Amino acid sequence: MTLAEENYLKTIFHLERKLKSEVSTNALAERMQTRASSVTDMMQKLADKKMLVYKKYKGVQLTEKGKKAAAYVVRKHRLWEVFLVDKLNFHWDEVHEIAEQMEHINSVELIKRLDAFLGHPDFDPHGDPIPDKDGNIKKAEKRLLSELIKNQIGICVGVKESSPEYLQYLDKKKISIGTKINVLGKEFFDGSMMIQAGRDQFFVSKQIAENLYVQTN
Amino acid sequence: MTLAEENYLKTIFHLERKLKSEVSTNALAERMQTRASSVTDMMQKLADKKMLVYKKYKGVQLTEKGKKAAAYVVRKHRLWEVFLVDKLNFHWDEVHEIAEQMEHINSVELIKRLDAFLGHPDFDPHGDPIPDKDGNIKKAEKRLLSELIKNQIGICVGVKESSPEYLQYLDKKKISIGTKINVLGKEFFDGSMMIQAGRDQFFVSKQIAENLYVQTN
DNA sequence: ACTAATGTTTAGCTTTGCCTAAAATTATAA
DNA sequence: TTATAATTTTAGGCAAAGCTAAACATTAGT
């Protein structure tokens, strides 16, 4: 498995879950910042390797083999993210690019030990689930703050969109990964909420609430 | 800097220190498990990038720029080895291949934090010095094998007395300049040691150990 | 249903890093 | 010193993974 192949598989894996259908050439090209023709080339190659089913003009679908390979790349990526945040004290929004490189390191024993070293985590610092060695994914328990109802409690596990402005806002309100958020009240007509975040109580607009992932339980 | 370029620089760096002269095309080809013609190609490319000075038929020599780049790759390699042994409990002879991959991960901040996480180590698990961020390497001092304690590692750099019998003994045990020696155990009352020299493990008397210089660190 | 717009594939080219075979240079040895 | 051996370079190719331009399929609009 080359680096490029791993990246394609990973991206198809993500797109399949998002779109819940075959993945089109253009969708892939956009996500991978490449051209449709390059995608076609790679699809043919991955189809030859039985990683996916490719039908001309009809998009692709991962086989079991492909799914497993892709999930393993995702597993490695997310474990490294946990390492970077928990052990090297990176902030959770700085780790993606580095993990993007580390996910391609090839050693089963390394990942086994890393997993143990980190205490067999189930979720990465963004709240996304870490697939197990066999590619099974625990159902994500994260949802948007805006989905919560009065008196529900969530723990902040990530953001949906991370503009500097938004992150700065969260910073000012002292909301970060792990912050407990309690929904004190909710306005139906505009979706705004009164919340308690840590020690402080304040209002957040729908827009704010729609971009914050929390883990309920 | 591509992966291949980094590997060439690193290898030239090591060979320059070993041979104390320019590095020949064939020497490089052998070390890199490739063909002389491939080496020539890459030498021309690295010369264009001012990483080394290349004169046809005369071998190559790293420039300051090339030396610095190479030392940084070595730094990363050795820091990861420390990580693998100290944190993930790998044995020191299992880590090379993995570190060979990890050394190419590209993030200054990552290495800064890794270094701190490991307690700013000066030497890797094999006893080799870790270059600092500017490419400087701590000079290692030689001492007698008999001065080492359990689990210390030394590289054979010479003998104190060189009787034919002694040299023959070393020869039989396949100990020569550059042989890595790991002290597995030491008897207090007679100063004898159980050592690993290269692949073999055996006992050496105090007398033997008192006549062999090793470089620790 | 047919044409236009959109999406996808094919053909052919580029770069990187490797290869083999042949030519050129340097080293060695009689 | 000169021939032979060894080393190094050059020339010409190959596979991976990308690209552009052109051809081909599908979808959508009227």
Cβ B129 vs Cβ B122: under 8 Å: yes
**What residue of B is the nearest CA neighbor of A104?**
B101
- Please state, in angstroms and rounded to a whole number, the distance separating the CA atoms of residues A114 and A108: 10
Distance of alpha carbon B188 from alpha carbon A29, whole angstroms: 68
Cα–Cα distance, A217 to A197 (Å, whole number): 17
Q: In 3-state terms, what secondary structure has residue B141?
A: coil
Of A116, A140, A164, which marks where a domain is finished? A140
Cα separation, A106 vs A16, whole angstroms: 25
Which residue among A97, A105, A113 sits closest to B102, beta carbon to beta carbon? A105
In terms of phi and psi (left: phi > 0; alpha: psi -120 to 50; beta: otherwise), the region of A197 is beta
Distance, in angstroms, between B85 CA and closest chain A CA?
11
In a domain, B199, yes or no: yes
The arithmetic mean of pLDDT across residues A78-88, rounded, is 96
B48 touches strand D (CB under 7 A): no
Q: Is B127 inside any structural domain?
A: no
Lowest mean pLDDT of A21-35, A202-216, B43-57, B150-164, name the range: B150-164
A203 within some domain: yes
Apex CA B14: angle with CA B209 and CA B49, to 5°?
A: 170
d(Cα B6, Cα B75) in Å, to the nearest integer?
12
DSSP secondary structure letter of residue A155: E
Q: Are strands B212-215 and B142-144 parallel, antiparallel or unpaired?
A: antiparallel
Element (H, E) at B41: helix B36-48
A191: left (phi over 0), alpha (psi -120 to 50) or beta: left
In this prediction, residues A187-214 reach a mean pLDDT of 91
Q: Residue B8's domain is classified under what CATH number?
A: 1.10.10.10
B84, B101, B113 member nearest A89 (Cβ): B113
Contact assessment for residue B13 and residue B78, using Cβ atoms and an 8 Å cutoff: no
The enclosing domain of B184 has a CATH number of: 2.30.30.90
Residue type, A192: S
B5, B46 Cβ separation under 8 angstroms: yes
User: What's the Å distance between residue B24 CA and nucleotide D5 C1'?
Assistant: 18
Q: How far: A36 CA to D30 C1' (Å)?
A: 30
* φ, ψ for residue A83, nearest 5 deg: -55, -50
R_g of chain B, CA atoms, integer Å: 19
Model pLDDT for residues B54-73, shown as the tens digit of each residue: 999 999 999 999 999 999 99
Residue from B76, B87, B110 to probe the interface with A (highest A Cβ count within 10 Å): B110
How far off is chain B from A105, nearest CA to CA, in Å?
A: 6
pLDDT band at B127 (very low <50, low <70, confident <90, very high): low
**ipTM metric:** 0.80
Q: Is any atom of strand D within 7 angstroms of residue A35's beta carbon?
A: yes
Looking at the complex, report in whole angstroms how far the Cα of residue B96 sits from the nearest Cα belonging to chain A.
Answer: 12
**Tokens 């902030």 -> residue:** A91
pLDDT band at B217 (very low <50, low <70, confident <90, very high): low
Tell me, in Å, how far CA of B203 is from C1' of D10?
A: 54
| Single residue among B62, B79, B112 that ends a domain in this structure | B62
How many domains does chain B fold into?
2
Whether A91 is in a domain gets the answer yes
In the listed set A14, A34, A62, which residue is the last one of a domain according to the structure? Answer: A62
Q: What sign for the dihedral angle of Cα B106, A29, A82, A111?
A: negative
Q: Tell me the per-residue pLDDT of A181-192, one tens digit each, with 9 for 90 and over.
A: 989 999 989 999
**A74 Cβ neighbours under 8 A, 6+ residues apart:** A10, A13, A14, A103, A130, A131
pLDDT of residue B190: 93
pLDDT at A139 over 80: no
> How many residues does this entry show for chain B?
217
Residue B211 lies in a domain: yes
**pLDDT category, A140, cuts 50, 70, 90?**
low
Q: Which residue is nearest to nucleotide C24 (CA to C1')?
A: B57
Strand partners, B92: none
Interchain pair B117, A87: CB under 8 A: yes
Element (H, E) at B25: helix B25-31
Q: Does A68 map to a domain?
A: no
Residue B153: CA count within 13 A, CB half-sphere = 15
Helix (H) or strand (E) holding B202: strand B200-204
- A217: confidence class by pLDDT, cuts 50, 70, 90: low
Cβ within 7 Å of nucleic strand C, residues: A 24-27, 36-37, 39-41, 43-44, 54, 56-59; B 2-5, 34-35, 37-38, 41-42, 45, 56-57
DSSP H helical ranges for B49-200: 64-82, 96-102, 108-117, 164-172
DSSP state of B147: G
User: What is the number of helices (H) and of strands (E) in chain B?
Assistant: 8, 8
Q: Are residues A135 and A89 in the same domain?
A: yes
Whether A38 has a pLDDT exceeding 90, the answer reads yes
pLDDT, tens only, B165-203: 888 898 899 887 778 899 999 998 999 999 999 888 999
Distance from CA of A141 to the nearest CA of B (A): 30
Contacts of B98 in chain A (CB under 8 A): 105, 107, 110
Structural domain boundaries enclosing B37 = 3-62
Would residue B197 be called left, alpha or beta, if left means φ above 0 and alpha means ψ between -120 and 50 degrees? beta
Whether the per-residue pLDDT at A163 is higher than 90: the answer is no
Q: How much is the average pLDDT of A91-103?
A: 92
Residues A57 and A22 in one domain: yes
Cα A176–Cα A180–Cα A184 angle in degrees, nearest 5: 120
pLDDT attached to residue B165: 86
Distance A207 CA to C8 C1' (A): 38
In a domain, B99, yes or no: no
Alpha carbons A19 and A95: distance in angstroms, whole number: 26
Amino acid letter, residue A172? K
Q: Around Cβ A62, how many Cβ atoms within 10 Å?
A: 22
Two tokens at B31?
Answer: 């070390």
**Per-residue confidence at A179, pLDDT binned at 50, 70, 90?**
confident
The number of CA neighbours under 13 Å toward the Cβ of B89 is: 6
pLDDT tens for each residue of B85-114: 899 999 877 899 999 999 999 999 999 999
Angstroms from A152 CA to nearest CA on chain B: 38
- Contact state of A101 with B106 under an 8 Å Cβ cutoff: yes
Query: Do B106 and A105 count as a contact with CB atoms less than 8 A apart?
Result: no
The distance (Å) linking the CA of A59 with the C1' of D30 is 29
Task: Give B-chain residues touching A110 at CB under 8 angstroms.
Answer: 84, 88, 98
Q: Residue B101 and residue A106: Cβ atoms within 8 Å?
A: yes
pLDDT of B158 strictly over 80: no
